[in-house]
Structure formats: structure tokens, C-alpha cells
């Protein structure tokens, strides 16, 4: 039991943005739950990177599909096993299955909505129970610049990310009086495995359209998450914070 520490549950924390978010919370002294889909090696590496920070909080790994109720339940139970409380939920797990609308299969649509949106719904619903009891909570969902502006080839993904924004605002309205905030972050182009599939040529073209003229890092996003999770950010709720080098302006 790590009784004097806060607990943060981060989905999709095996790699990329989620990994940096988990490390950032651990460095701040939180117990962290690292959710991931199936890549054990990557998740163990996140754990190792946390431990190398030398802080002595609790770290638990939970493998499973975030769109399944049993996984969501296990994630919440694991988070509560540290102190009985859950201060921060970060809905970060996400996938892409890009294609033009004319060619997109219903299963590509469903799998993206299930992971990116249903998973966040299940976890938010289960997280608010302990958060209401403790009269404190921070729910932070990783949306995207394309959830605000749309993007050709990403009907499924942009719908899921726009859905996260609507969900965030509704949660914020339902729970503001209970001292639970809900905010979304809309990253632009961040260097991770997800964007690693793009060719250098495509990346160059995208970078040329970003006012900052470069892709962002996972740390840029983690930094914004820490800000929204802070006790002193309690009057910020229902917002969408862009972390995009000016891309979405
Ligand atoms: P990533 O490198 O592809 O990592 C995705 C993480 O999500 C992995 O840990 C993966 O687990 C986990 N995951 C995938 N499907 C899952 C499922 N069904 N259940 C549980 N976990 C699942 O992605 P990223 O680039 O860090 O992106 C993180 C979030 O930021 C996503 O929501 C993404 O949409 C959003 N975002 C990214 C960018 C960008 O430019 N990269 C921009 C805007 C928004 P395994 O490691 O086990 O596979």
C-alpha cells in the first residue's frame, strides 16, 4: 500500500504519449497504473523507465482491450488497490484505421470507435464512483486536432476524437459541482509509432503546414496532462487544450 500517494491510471501507456504521461506522473510521486493492449515488452519498458526515476510509488501493469468491460473493471480495481482512491484518469489508448470514406469498412469504423471512445466511456463511468466519494477527480482524455477540424482519410478516427470532446464537456457539466474536472487535450502531430508509419515526404509536407515547423514530442503532451491534473487546475473544466505547435489555429 502506498497510502500517502495519489494514483493515476493511464490507458495506452505501454508506448508513445501514454508512456511519457505515466513517467511524468510517477516522477511527481504518483502510484501509476499502466494500461496496454498486448505489447508486454513495451509495457515492461515503461515500468523500467518509471523505476529508473528512483521514486518509490506503486506501479502496476494491466493488459487488455480497453473497450471491454472486464478490462476497464480490472484497470479501476488495480488503481484502487494502492490507496482505495483514484485521483486521475487519463483516457489515452487509441488506434487508427485510416481510409477514405468510400473504402472504409464498417469493422474499421467500429474498432476505432470502440477503442478510442467506448473505452473512455467505460473507464470514465467506473472512475467517477471513487472520485465522487473522495470529492476529487481529474479525467483527461487525449483527443486530437482532427477531432476539432476533421481530416480526409480519418472519418472513423476524427468521429471518435470529436466524440471524446462531446463526452468530456458532458462529464464536466455533470460533475463540476463534485470537484471532478473533465478536459480534453487535442495534440497535433506527435512523434510516436502512430505517426512513425508516415513517410519522410509526408511528414515534411505536414511540418511545413505547422506554424512551429516541427512535430511535437510525447513530453509536450504529458506536460499539458500534468497541468490539467494539478490540484490548482480545479476551475478548468470542459476545455479542449491544443498541443499542436499552432496547427489547429
Ligand atoms: P501509440 O504509440 O500507437 O500507442 C498506443 C497505445 O495504446 C499502446 O500502448 C497500445 O498498447 C494502446 N492500445 C491500443 N489499442 C488498445 C486497446 N484496444 N486497449 C488498450 N490499449 C490499447 O499511440 P500514440 O501516438 O502514443 O497515441 C496516444 C493517444 O494520442 C491516442 O489516443 C492517439 O489517438 C492520440 N493522438 C496521437 C497523435 C500523434 O500524432 N501521435 C496525435 C493526436 C492524438 P500496446 O502497446 O500493447 O499495443
Tell whether 128 is covered by a domain: yes
User: Does 30 qualify as catalytic in the annotation?
Assistant: no
- Residue 248 within a domain: no
pLDDT greater than 70 at residue 154: yes
pLDDT value of residue 55 = 79
Q: Give me the number of domains the chain comprises.
A: 1
**β-pair partners for 90:** 10, 140
Return d(Cα 206, Cα 20) in angstroms, integer.
23
Mean pLDDT along residues 208-220: 97
Specify the pLDDT at position 2. 47
Within 13 Å, how many C-alpha atoms sit on residue 100's CB side? 2
Give the number of other Cβ atoms within 10 Å of residue 43's Cβ.
23
Q: Report, in this order, helix, strand and coil percent for the chain, each rounded to 5.
A: 50, 15, 30
Please give the average per-residue pLDDT across 73-90, as a whole number: 98
In testing the pocket of ligand 1, which one of 24, 94, 159, 216 has its CB within 8 Å of the most ligand atoms? 94
How would residue 36 be classed by pLDDT, with cut points 50, 70 and 90? Answer: very high
Tell me which residue range forms the domain holding 163: 7-243
Q: How many residues in total does the chain contain?
A: 249
* Residue 1 is assigned to a structural domain of this protein: no
Residue in 26, 30, 36, 157 annotated catalytic? 157
104, 140, 168 from 88: Cα distances, Å:
35, 8, 14
Report the nearest atom of ligand 1 relative to the CA of 43: 46
Query: What residues are paired with 60 via a beta bridge?
Result: 33
Instruction: Establish if 233 belongs to a structural domain.
Output: yes
Of the pLDDT bands very low, low, confident and very high (cuts 50, 70, 90), residue 4 is confident
CB atoms within 10 A of CB 175: 19
If you average pLDDT over residues 116-120, what whole number do you get?
98
Of the candidates 219, 220, 202, the one whose C-alpha atom is nearest the C-alpha of residue 153 is 202
Query: pLDDT above 70 covers what percent of the chain?
Result: 99
Average pLDDT, the chain: 97
- Ligand 1, pocket residues at CB < 6 Å: 11-12, 14-18, 35-39, 42, 65-67, 92-95, 115, 142, 144, 187, 189-190, 192-195
Whole-model pTM above 0.85? yes
249 within a domain of the structure (yes/no):
no
d(CA 193, CA 196): 5
Q: What does the alpha-carbon distance between residue 173 and residue 30 come to, in Å, rounded to a whole number?
A: 27
pLDDT band at 3 (very low <50, low <70, confident <90, very high): low
Alpha-carbon distance 108 to 130, whole Å?
34
Residue 200 resides in a domain: yes
User: Is residue 50 in a domain?
Assistant: yes
Decide: 72 and 213 in contact? Cβ < 8 Å.
no
- What is the C-alpha to C-alpha distance for residues 102 and 209, in angstroms, rounded to an integer? 26
CATH code for the domain of 162: 3.40.50.720
Q: CB-based contacts of 244: which residues, under 8 Å, 6+ apart? A: 145, 186, 187, 188, 189, 210, 216
pLDDT given at position 54: 86
Going by alpha carbons, the residue nearest to atom 22 of ligand 1 is 37
Amino acid at each position: 500500500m502506498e497510502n500517502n500517494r495519489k494514483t493515476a491510471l493511464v490507458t495506452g501507456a505501454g508506448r508513445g504519449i501514454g508512456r511519457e504521461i505515466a513517467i511524468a506522473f510517477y516522477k511527481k510521486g504518483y502510484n501509476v497504473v499502466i494500461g496496454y493492449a498486448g505489447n508486454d515488452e513495451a509495457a515492461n519498458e515503461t515500468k523500467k523507465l518509471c523505476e529508473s526515476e528512483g521514486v518509490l510509488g506503486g506501479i502496476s501493469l494491466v493488459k487488455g482491450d480497453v473497450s471491454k468491460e472486464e478490462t476497464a473493471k480490472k484497470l479501476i480495481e488495480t488503481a484502487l488497490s494502492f490507496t482505495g482512491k483514484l485521483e486521475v484518469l487519463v483516457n489515452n489508448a487509441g488506434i487508427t484505421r485510416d481510409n477514405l470514406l468510400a473504402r472504409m469498412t464498417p469493422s474499421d469504423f467500429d474498432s476505432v470507435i470502440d477503442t478510442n471512445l467506448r473505452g473512455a466511456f467505460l473507464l470514465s463511468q467506473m472512475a467517477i464512483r471513487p472520485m465522487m466519494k473522495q470529492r476529487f477527480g481529474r479525467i483527461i482524455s487525449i483527443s486530437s486536432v482532427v477531432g476539432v477540424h476533421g481530416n480526409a482519410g480519418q472519418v472513423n478516427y476524427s468521429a471518435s476524437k470529436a466524440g471524446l470532446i462531446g463526452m468530456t464537456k458532458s462529464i464536466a457539466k455533470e460533475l463540476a459541482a463534485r470537484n471532478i474536472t473533465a478536459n480534453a487535450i487535442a495534440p497535433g502531430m506527435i512523434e510516436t509509432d502512430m505517426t512513425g508509419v508516415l513517410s519522410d515526404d509526408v511528414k515534411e509536407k505536414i511540418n511545413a503546414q505547422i506554424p512551429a515547423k516541427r512535430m511535437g514530442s510525447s513530453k509536450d503532451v504529458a506536460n499539458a496532462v500534468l497541468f490539467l491534473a494539478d490540484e490548482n487546475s480545479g476551475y478548468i473544466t470542459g476545455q479542449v487544450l491544443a498541443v499542436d505547435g499552432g496547427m489547429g489555429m
